[in-house]
Chain A
């Protein structure tokens, strides 16, 4: 670590570790391996348990730090991706039930708002959608 801000995320199912760096530089290495790379601000590194390389790429997801900032930004983002992010963010399911809606772009910035508020905003922005509250979250489809 070289004086930085970063986020480390481990996916146990896929045996992948990911590091995203927002400030400074971080040395990223694999346990019991000489493999290491310096990851700079704005980059994401990933390594898998069954792979002997560290992959580096630019951070493209504007919301990768949303868990910390409590801010979500969408800029003409396909609705299916918006629903996935909202599900991760709020820990409840936002399911797009209508395929015609999945690729429809949606733009908003959400700061410290409740899931119910988001649903209200979604409905106000699009007169053609219908949201049904379920036990696990919300189903979002087109009005019949």
Chain B
């Protein structure tokens, strides 16, 4: 008896041959001023070959006259669609018609980001395509290089950097020039109130602040690791700082992006993005806790908790490093302190421990979020939440605005901490 696998392979082969064979069928056709789509219907009636296409193909409305007694379907289709940018493939008794794909043209957008007024380069600004979401990070000297294709021409690129006003440029404009000098304006402190009554806030610390038992590697092309921070006391407050315990074994030079997410109610994984801007930071510490003040973003700490995440980014076009991850380099130890392309094919390592009650999620560009084993890999991320207490302070404005600003600054220092 013939094994089942062999029978299957034979059938598959016959099907494939049948698919191509239909193009050899002979057609007789006599039509006058008939739209191509009706010609195809006539061909179907006489040959048993059917035509499939998606979208509106303008050639279908084109009227043709044919007076042919005998021609192969292959040759007839070649004549019908001559010069029409149509391609076709076969499957079973179907001919599938498609527009010939437009060749994709590549562009490289280059330039430098400069702080307006000081002419100093702006380091590690993020540049992100608004529609596709892909992005890049400028280097320490403010220089950037972004790859784009003709598919991106209707998109725009937003430039973000902490402490500066964001700017948005159309891709069409960016590809029209060889090199760009983009000036970013420092974000001014907005004081828009004259009388101020507020409750004195207290700071609650939440998350995983235990002792590290190991560290997790984070690559530099979009991998993320997130810790769920529960709102155990159901406090009403806002994020003041987020903290990351960075291992000295990672690339301590590597910048990373901070992300904050709400909870996806159905899956329990990171959901809605709560941090509106792209914040990329470069740690200055060799190891240990690295804190970032995000109080200026006024992000509410949700009642059902939130995820604080770090994302590996590459200054320049990080796509360059996809598939070149070298895990052997993760233990190289001391860093040079310099940012150069060669040192950034691997990123930070974040500490973890067996801290219970929280949970850690992981995301890589090719996968969706998945939860790591909660007992073993709880990454050391924490957050400080400003919670309002019942004690109130009151500040009144003065005729002299400098006195008011001084008093207001004291209040802000009390309210927000060292940042002010």
Partner-B contacts on A (CB < 8 A) = 75-76, 104-111, 113, 117, 120-122, 124-127
Contacts and interface: CB of A to CB of B under 8 A. Distances in A.
B74 interface: no
Given A111-B50, A121-B91, A126-B55, 15 more contacts: A104-B54, A105-B55, A107-B51, A107-B53, A108-B51, A108-B94, A111-B93, A120-B91, A121-B96, A122-B54, A124-B52, A124-B91, A125-B52, A125-B97, A125-B98
Given A75-B37, A127-B98, A113 B92 contact: yes
B16 to A, nearest CB: 13
B51 A105 contact: no
A15 B408 CA distance: 73
B52 A117 contact: no
29 contacts: A75-B37, A104-B54, A104-B55, A105-B56, A106-B53, A106-B54, A107-B51, A107-B53, A108-B53, A109-B51, A109-B52, A113-B92, A117-B91, A117-B92, A120-B91, A121-B52, A121-B91, A121-B94, A121-B96, A124-B52, A124-B89, A125-B53, A125-B54, A125-B96, A125-B98, A126-B54, A126-B55, A127-B98, A127-B101
Interface in B57-113: 89, 91-94, 96-98, 101
A107 B92 contact: no
Contacts of A76: 56
Contacts, number: 51
Contacts of A124: 52, 89, 91, 96
A126 B98 CA distance: 8
A107 B96 CA distance: 10
A110 to B, nearest CB: 8
B44 interface: yes
A132 to B, nearest CB: 13
Contacts of A126: 54-55
A126 B51 CA distance: 14
A121 B94 CA distance: 8
B376 to A, nearest CB: 32
Interface of B: 37, 44, 50-56, 89, 91-94, 96-98, 101
A108 B50 contact: yes
Contacts of B55: 104-105, 126
A113 B96 CA distance: 15
Nearest to B90: A124
A131 to B, nearest CB: 13
A94 to B, nearest CB: 15
B101 to A, nearest CB: 8
Contacts of B37: 75, 107
Contacts of A117: 91-92
Contacts of B52: 106-109, 121, 124-125
A106 B101 CA distance: 18
A113 B89 CA distance: 17
Contacts of A111: 50, 93
A109 B92 contact: no
Contacts of A75: 37
A109 B56 contact: no
A117 B94 CA distance: 10
B113 to A, nearest CB: 30
B213 to A, nearest CB: 37
Nearest to B15: A117
Contacts of A107: 37, 51-54
Nearest to B93: A111
Nearest to B99: A127
Contacts of B92: 113, 117, 121
B246 to A, nearest CB: 32
The 6 closest A-B pairs by CB, nearest first: A108-B52, A126-B54, A109-B50, A125-B54, A124-B96, A125-B96
Contacts of B91: 117, 120-121, 124
B94 A105 contact: no
B78 to A, nearest CB: 19
Nearest to B92: A117
